[in-house]
Chain A
Amino acid sequence: MKTLGCDIGSLFSKAVLMDGENILASKIIETTGNIGVEIEPLIEEVCRQAGVSRFNLDGFVGTGSGAELLEDADFLEDEIACIAWAARCFLPEVELVVDIGGQSITSMLLNDEGEVIDFMRNDKCASGSGRFLEVMANALGVPVERIDEEASRAKRRVSISSQCGVFVESEVITHVNNGEPPQDIVAGLCDAVARIVTSQARRFGMGNRYTFTGGVAKVKTVVDLVCERMEGEYQPFPLDTRLAAAVGAALLAETE
């Protein structure tokens, strides 16, 4: 059964074509003001990669903050439901999922059946989210993909006190001017993000099995630092964490 899941996120849009639990193809593009016209090519590209005809799909589910732009979808599902579903399928024992996306951190609590029994989003301040990390990394000229590599060379962590993504940029610049090595600043940034994620995650009990999804979960340094401060058992999400919602959507397409 070939199903398509599409997640129009706040910063990135993802499409995944799945056959059961196998990913046949996936693609991630930036969500811009133009996303409306870029969706169709994105879907076509994924279909082409997988060698499946756009019109031969067994199901198509949309999700994400821009989901209503997906006019062809069979139905739309809430992001929370999709992520939880994906987590449930790949990590049946997980009780807590923390999604660290572009603009928000969402913690979800799952019961034995993998249903969301409670969830919580971060407050009005975007600090700690992916965008925060991006802005900071930009200021340093280190692409997000290379954060781990940089941080691994750090001798210490520069302490970062701004929690605001906008101000942190100038704080980073100050550190650079003071001659702090970039890798130490990067390590400090990861620590700053990890602290914010930790307080979000710890709100939901501490002793459970947990996993991370979303873009920032790709940054191992951050994940490790959060795990250090958590008390439960960490179970890594086995796929690209950024795809979690899209994968969940594709899997849900199969159930209906």
Chain B
Amino acid sequence: MAEGSSATTRKGAEGLFERVESLVEVAMLLPHGMSDEEVEGLLRVLPPDTSRSMRALLCPRFRDVSLDFIKMLGGWVQELRRAKEEGRKVVLIPFNFPPEVVYIFRNAIPLTSEVMTTLGVSVLEGQGERYWDHAMGLGIPDYLCSSSTIELGSILTGRDFQPDIIVQSAPGACDANSKIHEFVSLHMGIPQVILEKPTEATSRGRELHRRYFLALIRRLEEMIGEELDEERMRGVLEEANRASDLYYELYDLRKFSPCPVPNIFSIFTYGTRFTRWGRPQATEMMRRMVELSRRRREEGAYPADEEVARCMWLYIGYYFDFLGFFNWMEERGITYLNDILSLCQPLHVDTTSRESMLAGLAEACFEYPMTRQIGGDSMSLSWIEEMCQFIRDLDANCAIYSGHHACKQTWSIINQVRREITKRTGTPVLCLQGDSWIRRMTPTSVLQEEISSFVDNVVARRKRTRARA
């Protein structure tokens, strides 16, 4: 694995986690207020792939907030390592499980596989392809989800940081995701705990889910070897509530046109919500994003002459382009309002009692993004309704579906989703096709061409007509 052994990578580190870890050590040292010259100097010494994402992140418009984000994730990675050394349990969680459920335990820490993948794909030389290839070598089908397969592929090599417990919460919401988590559990002998989310969003379904959830907590207590402590739980959830308030403040800021919130903040939001919620670091991160956005709003700052498209991403974004994709859009007047992940809409948890807190956490699981929409009795119904609501609320004038080829659930109903959204809100919907985490599938240039073509032909033209009328 010669590619990985750049100057900045810790010797012998081969796994995704470990390589990220060694980069983080360097990144944690970067100071706030770096000048353009300093940034250029840094970019020159980094390996080319890493340098590309750092270029996107260290864009002067939000440089310091990016640094905060890097440091927040860096701190998470380092804490994971420390926890492991201290004998605390590392709990691998998928995209649809709130990390605060793990933080309520003193002796456990969540490792979110999707975020780890995104992080690795964004900063590592050669991205995550070798881990994907390793999984393929075991015979994992190539139409599986790259977001889970890359981080899990690295775990499967047996030469990376290993979690102690796997939480599985996608059965019934995403087959691809839940099946590969189960495979890792079997293959690596890591115990798994399952949380099923019933499809029914009625009181009956919620009640069943609450019972499943309580069983999960009991299992976690056993596995972690710790009884839940009410005070700790309250502390975590109050912190989470604070972050949630800031989340909604940021959400509201997106309503202004031109949008004062940089496109890349959608991924920061998702990265924060899915790893650190319930910890002060997350709250601080949200605060930094709100502050900068507020300032930009006061200054009327926007990177393009005109905000041509206010775009709602119906599903997820593309992360394989070293994050450059977000800035590319922004500089062309295409605002990335939100996607299904950044629209996490966290709930306020009632912290009066142990029961109310557990109920609140169960609710948080039930209402987690993707689970609550695609995991419903109808995969399309609440997805359509919510997106229509967000489109109106945030005054979007177009929508994009990113068509990650592994998400068969969304592909299977996208036609009616597209049709209904257009019918109900008059918003055109572009359907793209590509893998969010692997560059081999659809190159950025193709995606950019499609988006430009969509914006020029459909959105801009329509805007002109509207202006005329």
B415 touches A118 (CB 8 A): no
A119-127, A217-225, A232-240: which lies at the interface: A119-127
A115 and B462 within 8 A (CB): yes
What residues of B have a CB within 8 angstroms of the CB of A120 in the complex?
430-431
CA A115 – CA B422 in complex, angstroms?
A: 15
What residues on B are CB-neighbors of A205 within 8 Å?
419
Contact B422 A118 (CB under 8 A): yes
In A85-113, the 8 Å CB interface with B consists of 113
Interface membership of A117, Cβ < 8 A: yes
A119 partner, pick from B415, B433, B442, B457, beta carbons under 8 A: B457
**Total contacting residues, chain A, CB less than 8 A:** 16
A205 and B422 alpha carbons, distance in the complex (Å): 12
Query: Which 5 A-B pairs have CB atoms at the shortest separation, nearest pair first?
Result: A118-B428, A80-B457, A116-B457, A81-B457, A116-B458
**Majority secondary structure, B binding face:** helix
Check if A113 sits within 8 Å of B465, measured CB to CB.
Answer: yes
Number of interface residues of B (CB under 8 A): 19
Q: Are B458 and A203 in contact (CB under 8 A)?
A: no
Complex partner residue of B453 from A80, A113, A117, A203, CB under 8 angstroms? A80
Nearest-Cβ distance from residue B428 to partner chain A, whole angstroms: 4
Give complex CA distance A119, B454 in Å. Answer: 8
Contacts A78-B453, A117-B422, A120-B431 aside, 8 further interface pairs with beta carbons under 8 A come to: A81-B456, A84-B457, A113-B465, A116-B458, A118-B428, A118-B458, A120-B430, A123-B433
CA distance A30 to B23 in the complex (A): 52
Q: Is B461 an interface residue (CB 8 A)?
A: yes
Q: Which of B429, B431, B450, B461 meets A115, CB within 8 Å?
A: B461
Which residues does chain B contribute within 8 Å of A78, judged by CB atoms?
Answer: 453, 456-457
Distance in Å: Cβ of B55 to nearest Cβ of chain A: 26
Kindly report which residue of chain B lies nearest to residue A123, judged by CB atoms: B433
Assembled-state Cα–Cα distance A116/B462 (Å) = 8
User: Would B462 and A124 count as touching, CB distance under 8 A?
Assistant: no
In Å, the complex CA distance between A116 and B429 comes to 12
In the docked arrangement, what's the CA distance between A203 and B430, Å?
13
- The 8 A CB mask of A60-86 against B (1 = contact, 0 = none) is 000000000000000000101100100
Query: Across the interface, which residues of A come within 8 angstroms of B462, CB to CB?
Result: 115, 117
Q: Are A203 and B456 in contact (CB under 8 A)?
A: no
Contacts of A116 in B (CB 8 A): 457-458, 461
In the complex, the chain A residue whose C-beta lies closest to that of B414 is: A203
24 A-B pairs in the complex with CB atoms less than 8 angstroms apart = A78-B453, A80-B453, A80-B457, A81-B456, A81-B457, A84-B457, A113-B465, A115-B461, A115-B462, A115-B465, A116-B458, A116-B461, A117-B422, A117-B428, A117-B458, A118-B422, A118-B428, A118-B429, A118-B430, A119-B454, A119-B457, A120-B431, A121-B450, A123-B433
Q: Which of B429, B442, B456 has the most CB of A within 10 A?
A: B456
A-side contacts of B428, CB under 8 Å:
117-118
Cβ contacts under 8 Å, A121 to chain B: 450
Whether A124 contacts B415 in the complex (CB less than 8 A), given A80-B457, A119-B458, comes out as no
Question: How far, in whole Å, are A251 and B244 apart by their CA atoms in the complex?
Answer: 54
Chain A: which residue is nearest B464 at the CB level? A115
Contacts of B418 in A (CB 8 A): 118
Question: Distance (Å) between the CB of A124 and the closest chain B CB?
Answer: 6
Nearest CB to that of A115 among chain B residues?
B461
Per-residue CB contact flags for chain B residues 443-456 toward chain A (1 = under 8 Å, else 0) read 00000001001101
Q: Closest A residue to B434 by CB, please name it.
A: A124
* B456/A124 in contact, CB under 8 A: no
- B465 touching A203 by the CB < 8 A rule? no
**How far, in whole Å, are A119 and B430 apart by their CA atoms in the complex?**
7
Closest Cβ of chain A: how far from B58's Cβ, in Å?
A: 32
